[in-house]
Amino acid sequence: MSDTPIVSVRNLRVYYGTHRGAVRAVDRVSLDIGRSEVVGLVGESGCGKSTFGRGILGLLPEGAASDGEVIYGGRNLISLPAKELRRLRGPELGLIFQEPMTRLNPLLRIEEHFTETLKQHEPKLGKAETRHRSLDTLGRMGIPPTRFRQYPHEFSGGMRQRIMIALALVLRPKLLVADEPTTALDVIVEAQILAILADLRENFGTALLLITHNLGIVAEACDRVAVMYAGQLVEEGPARDVFTEPAHPYTRELLRSTISLDTTELHSIPGAPPNLIQPPRACRFHPRCPDAMRVCATTDPIEQPLDGRRVSCWLHGPGDRIPAGGHDVLERREIGVADEA
């Protein structure tokens, strides 16, 4: 794995326009992904993970606006013309969608999906080479050539997910965003998908942004983990360090909510992620945080380096910026009153 980032995201913002106001789905997020590195992006539903991944690739719906920098190959993808960005998607930047059955055309055979993809991005590729590339990539996913001319409905959910991965990899992208690649799969198929993702670095040299709710997958498959809450990055660092000693209260509460063989009682985080049209002032997690202080409800946390990682939380300073009395831990009901004031 190289120390040189293949993509550097700086202060990325993605807002969705609605009749009630702008939804701040991604708000000033910065993240580097190294060459051949696997980075896990975790957080509750509605925290902006999928929007962040699509924002990197410029795959946003009509009505969305983005700014900031996504530096790839020395260029800012945010400011690239749409036509040029489309040329990069596929051969350079790939995406594995959620819900593979809805992404595969039920009227086309699997062969036709691959032919269409390769002809769109590599029109000079001959018929024989197109077939060879397609079958080779499918073979790496464990799908035999005898199934090449079958339709999507003839495959199980796990097999369709493998086909989606193969479609993303057949163009040999340098960066792949995998959005919940194991959702709704049984544990056996999930393990197979994880093995495939683990081989991506070795076989394709691909950097991977893995978006998931499953912290176990991140612990097993990822080099680093980034934790999102309410559209912002709250903690990022080596997966082993973050899982062993979580620095942010939100990360700690997520890990406590994970079920394992040692679990004796269920734990959940009280409340729910906030409305991103009008998120809480200052630290967005403070209404739910068991360690919230007065400063958390009044002042935005300052990102701090911490033993090779970074965390945005007043528990880690800087102490000289915390107002007098700011260390007093608030009762959750008191925070609610402060927010409504």
Q: How far apart are CA 33 and CA 267, in angstroms?
A: 32
Per-residue pLDDT at 165: 84
Please compute the mean of the pLDDT values over residues 249-260 and round it to a whole number.
Answer: 90
First to last CA, the chain: 50
Please compute the mean of the pLDDT values over residues 9-15 and round it to a whole number.
Answer: 97
Please compute the mean of the pLDDT values over residues 171-185 and round it to a whole number.
Answer: 84
Burial classification of residue 336, based on how many CB atoms lie within 10 Å of its CB (0-12 exposed, 13-18 middle, 19 or more buried)? middle
Residue 336 has pLDDT above 60, yes or no: no
Please compute the mean of the pLDDT values over residues 208-218 and round it to a whole number.
Answer: 90
Question: What DSSP element (H or E) covers 223?
Answer: none
Query: Cβ–Cβ contacts within 10 Å for residue 67, how many?
Result: 12
Residue 37 has pLDDT above 60, yes or no: yes
CA distances from 260 to 131, 215, 263, 264, 265 (A): 44, 11, 5, 9, 10
Considering only 171-180, 248-257, 304-313, 317-326, which range has the smallest mean pLDDT? 317-326
Decide: helix, strand or coil at residue 191. helix
Going along the chain from its start, the domains and CATH numbers come out as 1-92+173-245 (3.40.50.300), 104-164 (no CATH), 246-340 (no CATH)
Please compute the mean of the pLDDT values over residues 222-227 and round it to a whole number.
Answer: 95
pTM: 0.88
Q: Could you tell me which residue, 322 or 205, shows the higher pLDDT? A: 205
Confidence of residue 196 (pLDDT cuts 50, 70, 90): confident
